[in-house]
Amino acid sequence: MQLPVELRALIAQLDNADADARSMVNGLSEELGHWSPSPGSWSASECLHHLALTNHAYIAAMKPAADRARVRGRLRSRPAKPGFVGSWFLRSIEPPVKTRFKAPPTIQPHHAPPLAEAFAAFTASQQPVREFLLTNADLDLATIHFPNPFIRGVRFSLATGLHVIPAHDRRHLCQARNALQQAEASRH
C-alpha cells in the first residue's frame, strides 16, 4: 500500500521537528540549554524531555486501540484526518500559543536534564510514532478511538492522536526557541 498523502505529510512533520530540534541544539551549551526564562518555565532541554515523555505516552495509549481494530478488520475507508473536536484541540496547541495547559505529572520533565540526553530521547521518541503510522496506515484511523492519556473521559480518533504529536512538537520546540532567545537577550 502506498502511504496516503495525509500520512506522508505527518511523516514530513515529524522529520521537520527532528531537524528543528537538531538545528536548535547543534553547538548549544549546557548552560543555555538549561536556561529558563522564569521560575516554572521550561528550558530547552526540559521542553525536549517533555516531548519525549508525551510521545511515548500517546503511542502507548493508541496501540491497544489499533491492535483491536486490526483484529476486527477495521480497514481504511476515509482519510486520516481529525474530526471537529480533534481539529479544535489541534488549533489550541499549535503555536503561537494562546492557551497554556499544565502538564500532568507523568509528562513533566525532569529538572535540567542533560541537553544531549533530552535531544536523544526526543528523536528516539519520534521513531515509534513513525512505526505506528506506517504499521497502521491501512486502518480507518479517523474512526478508531483511544482514551486520551492525559484528559480523563476524552477519546480521540487515532487520526487526531497522530496529528496531535507533531503539533505538540511544534508547540514545545517554539517554546524552547523562545527560551533560548530570551537567554541570549539576557546576556547582553
**Predicted confidence band at 7 (pLDDT cuts at 50, 70, 90)?**
very high
Give the pLDDT score at 102. Answer: 87
Give per-residue pLDDT as tens, 94-144. Answer: 998 877 888 999 999 988 899 999 999 999 999 999 999 999 999 999 999
Res. 146: pLDDT tops 90:
yes
pTM of the model: 0.95
Give the pLDDT score at 63. Answer: 98
Domains and CATH numbers, the chain: 5-186 (1.20.120.450)
Lowest mean pLDDT among 11-15, 120-124, 147-151: 147-151
Residue 27 backbone zone (phi > 0: left; psi -120 to 50: alpha; other: beta) = left
Is residue 130 within 8 A of residue 52, CB to CB? The reply is: no
**Predicted confidence band at 187 (pLDDT cuts at 50, 70, 90)?**
confident
Please name the residues in contact with 129: beta carbons below 8 A apart, sequence gap of 6 or more.
14, 55, 58, 59, 162, 165
Give the pLDDT score at 10. Answer: 98
Per-residue CA distances from 115 to 33, 75, 82, 102, 122 (Å): 6, 41, 33, 22, 11
Give the pLDDT score at 40. Answer: 86
Give the pLDDT score at 1. Answer: 64
Q: How far apart are CA 79 and CA 76, in angstroms?
A: 8
Res. 153: pLDDT tops 70:
yes
Give per-residue pLDDT as tens, 27-86. Answer: 999 999 999 988 889 999 999 999 999 999 999 999 999 999 999 999 999 999 999 999
